[in-house]
Amino acid sequence: MNRERHIFVHGFRAIEELISAPAPGSVLMLARAGARQRKLAALAAASGVPVRRVSEEELSRHADPSRHRGALLRLRDRQPRSGDRRLEEIAARTDGGALVLAVDGVTDTANLGAILRSAEGFGVDLVVLHADRAAPVTPAAIRAAAGATAYLTIITVTNLARALARLQRHGFWVVGADLDGQPLNQYRFAQRSVVVVGSEGSGIRRGVRARCDDLVTVETAGRVGSLNVAVAAGIVLYRAASARAPARRNGPRAG
């Protein structure tokens, strides 16, 4: 029998957010009885999250003593799984639309967490990460995601372009977020869409970019030439979730 693995999140504000929408299996671990710890305990009780009173030494086995400040939230470790089976389940879905997010090379865990938070907020059905070219889903990413990882289906693939091709064969239209794309506010998303976002520095890799059916860009009015990838991803996902068209223009490629 496999032993359940856990991750531990520190930081009062992060724990407060995670407790407000607790993931299944969450446990609040407290080693002090200060005002902030009492507030966390009250929030946990209101949300149905069990509270364990533990020693400082136990907390320090799971987090830096200078960081945990007498409180940790224990979560089940839901690391992304190899994606073939889940990818096929989403691809084969015939009951209406679906929205997939593909993350190509985002390396900053805070950015990844913010992207995942937007993905959950806008009803993404599946998140696809490149196994070798994306930040892992660490406690820092989970803190930035404010618990969204507990409600998302996240998978990893070794070849993102190939995964996109499989989705296209099942009627998905792949849309990349790119500075050279057409204006987002003029674009109509398909009911079955994949949104692709690239790395902080170089964007979507060439091979993945070539697989996209369309490219869109978030136009700005200020002097800064581009948005942070997490901000741009949230805007594109909002449009994809709220403005999908009932039909595509030309249908997906078969290649």
Q: Where are the domains of the chain?
A: 6-76, 81-245
For residue 125, pLDDT over 70 is answered with yes
Q: How far apart are CA 95 and CA 69, in angstroms?
A: 48
Homologous superfamily assigned to 81-245: SPOUT methyltransferase, trefoil knot domain (3.40.1280.10)
The distance from CA 159 to its chain's CA centroid, rounded to whole angstroms, is 19
What is the arithmetic mean of pLDDT over 182-193? 93
Q: What is the CATH number assigned to the segment(s) 6-76? A: 3.30.1330.30
CA angle 104/199/150 to nearest 5° reads: 60
For residue 121, pLDDT over 50 is answered with yes
Surface-to-core class of residue 133, CB atoms within 10 Å of its CB (0-12 exposed, 13-18 middle, 19+ buried): middle
Helices (H), the chain: 12-20, 35-47, 56-62, 65-68, 84-91, 109-121, 139-145, 160-169, 206-211, 229-242
Q: Is 102 or 149 the better-scoring residue by pLDDT? A: 102
pLDDT band at 84 (very low <50, low <70, confident <90, very high): low
Fill in the amino acid letter for 181.
Answer: G
The model's pTM is: 0.75
Q: Same CATH topology for 6-76 and 81-245?
A: no
